[in-house]
Amino acid sequence: MFFRRFIAIGTLSLLATYASFAQDAKPAAPVEKPSVVERPSVAPARPKASPSPTEPPITFNSVHVDGPYIALTFDDGPSAALTPKLLDLLAARHLKATFFVVGQNAADHPEILKRAVREGHEIANHSWSHPNLGKMSDEAVRRELQKTDDAISAAIGKRPTLMRPPYGSITAHQKKWIHEEFGYRIIIWDVDPLDWKRPGPSVVTARILKETNPGSIILAHDIHPPTIEAMPATFDQLMKKGFKSVTVTELLGMATPVPPKPTPTPSPSAPRAIAVPSATPIASPVASATATPGS
């Protein structure tokens, strides 16, 4: 009997202890896995676009050439009275030139254009009526060029490939669409004797000789009598200097790359003297021996 009571009391005690422990114990917090910080994927560096090839130039004032070649050009003709005389002077010296013709004059004198081509010269477009193209609409410029193109084609059987704007006046926008639409290269100049002001034949000759270099494009006009008078001496002096005149298209075909300017190398200089600070005098130690008098 006693033993059964002992077992019952022990069982009740154990149950009470377990209940107390269950109330006091707190559930352990779940262990969180460390969050994974994902590094943003680094996109591979995009290769730099290689620069587009340099577009060929369409406007020329002069040409870099290896040799004494130049281009004589004459504007505003043909003149019934003067251009044949000029052709005679060129033929006598076996020189070639390029004629930038005004369309109205070309239509009136197709036989002069035909002769020029037969003798190896070049015919190019200089507009129909010599206006300032830079101040005109695209459509008006187009009419000027097209009418002249047609007149040249009718006279010599082929289209021109060059044009020169009157007064050299043309916008960057016009250059672009004229080249795209007509295929023209635009030719300006680097030698201008201002012969249209009629300063006199000797002045025209002197200015051309002074300014001409290999690759030069020389501007003159075959509608002014003093210009034609200046040409014999001009041609002879240019030839004496060793220059050879070709058409503009031939000159463009001779173009060579402009060599890079050499990098100046510093001249060797004498080594700079290094300043040495003067030494602080150090007192010599006192001699232990007594100096001999008179020494």
Burial of 10 (0-12, 13-18, 19+ CB in 10 A): exposed
Count of other CB atoms within 10 angstroms of residue 261: 6
Query: Which region among 13-17, 37-41, 95-99, 159-163 has the lowest average model confidence (pLDDT)?
Result: 37-41
Tokens 């197709």: give the residue. 110
| Residue bearing the bigger pLDDT, 282 or 232 | 232
Top-level CATH class of 60-253?
Answer: alpha beta
**pLDDT tens string 113-134:** 999 999 999 999 999 999 999 9
Q: Which residue has the higher pLDDT, 51 or 233?
A: 233
At residue 5 the predicted structure's pLDDT band, cuts being 50, 70 and 90, is low
Structure confidence at residue 72 (pLDDT)? 98
Q: What is the pLDDT of residue 268?
A: 61
Average pLDDT over residues 40-44: 36
Among candidate residues 79, 88, 130, the one with its CA nearest the CA of residue 109: 79
Closest to 198 measured CA to CA, from 228, 176, 171, 175? 228
Q: What's residue 14's pLDDT?
A: 47
Give the span between the Cα atoms of 241 and 180, in whole angstroms.
39
Residue range 160-176: mean pLDDT, rounded: 98
- pLDDT at position 269 is 58
**What residues are annotated to the active site?**
75, 221
The pLDDT, as a whole number, for residue 266 is 67
The mean pLDDT value for 210-238 works out to 98
Percent of the chain with pLDDT over 90: 68
| pLDDT-wise least confident of 18-22, 110-114, 214-218 | 18-22
- Count the neighbouring beta carbons within 10 Å of the beta carbon of residue 101: 30
Helix pair 225-240, 83-93: axis angle to 10 deg: 10
* Chain centroid offset of residue 242 CA: 30
Mean pLDDT within 204-217: 98
Query: What is the value of pTM for the model shown?
Result: 0.72
Model pLDDT, residue 54: 66
